[in-house]
Amino acid sequence: MKSWLVAVLTALTLISTAPSALSQDRVGDDGCGSLAPGECQVAGLRAQFGLGETQDLVRALMLFEDACAQGDSFACTEAGVAYATGFGTTIEPELARAFYQKGCTADRHALCRDHGLSYLDPNSPARHFPKALTILSEACWVGSVEGCQQLASVNARAENGKAPLIGQIDAIRFFKEACILGSIEACVAGSTMIDESPALSLFNHVRVLMLDLACEPANPERATNPATQAACALREAAAQTG
């Protein structure tokens, strides 16, 4: 398990099972007070989920914003999620974007991915599917192949709360993004899903793009991966008949 994911899960476990070490008199009325940024971020999580204290989404966001201003990227992403989803505030896409640009950046895409994955963990005391998908989306768009693949799989299995066909349509864009980022597995999975569903024929151009990327001569998996070999054989057969 990734070190960042371990850290996130450990923090969430501690804040839910141990008495709060973050004395209320150390938290300011309008921010973190004397808390260090990391402590303030944990205080925000406690307030957001009502772990060991009364749930207070407004206070949680205030703490995340202040911790973010002090350099805690985890808190920046949490504030972004709040403004993107209306979790304790009004939905403000531009403000959400501003916080994401501080917390979920290209050079920290792996951290952002693990932040999202932590909310999918069934053992987490703060499991939260919508937050997980929101953060993983941001990780995907800034370059996390695994973030894109996780989202594609969740949507393809219709685990996003939408109808199966809508889930597959959502999955296509994440398979495509992971494919473009270099995942041959995503190229093959996405193209196969489109090929196997007549309802997705509108996306055949995406299927062709993904197969082109998967079947490039320089791709070593063409000779070693049976799934890739089968997909490329179908592509070549279609090209010959077309």
Query: Can you give the pLDDT at residue 132?
Result: 93
Q: What is the model's pLDDT at position 8?
A: 53
Q: What is the block-wise mean pLDDT of the chain (242 residues), using blocks of 10 residues?
A: 48 50 52 90 91 91 95 95 92 96 94 92 85 95 96 89 90 96 92 94 94 82 74 72 55
Residue 57 half-sphere exposure toward CB, CA atoms < 13 A:
9
- What is the model's pLDDT at position 126? 81
Region for residue 84 given its phi and psi (left: phi exceeds 0; alpha: psi -120 to 50; beta: otherwise): alpha
Residue in 161, 189, 196, 159 with CA at minimum distance from that of residue 174: 189
Residues 6+ apart with CB under 8 A from 171: 151, 152, 153, 154, 155, 156, 190, 193
Structure token digits, residue 145: 């192949």
Question: How far is it, in rounded angstroms, from Cα 198 to Cα 175?
Answer: 18
pLDDT (tens digit per residue) in 143-174: 999 999 999 999 999 887 788 999 999 999 99
Q: Label residues 145-174 b or e (16+ Cβ within 10 Å = b).
A: bbbbbbbbebbbebebeeeeeebbbbbbbb
Backbone angles phi, psi at 34, to 5 degrees: -95, 5
Q: What is the distance between the alpha carbons of residues 43 and 23, in angstroms, rounded to a whole number?
A: 10
- Sketch the domain layout of the chain as residue ranges: 1-143, 144-242
pTM: predicted TM-score of the whole model, two decimal places: 0.81
Q: What's the confidence (pLDDT) of residue 123?
A: 83
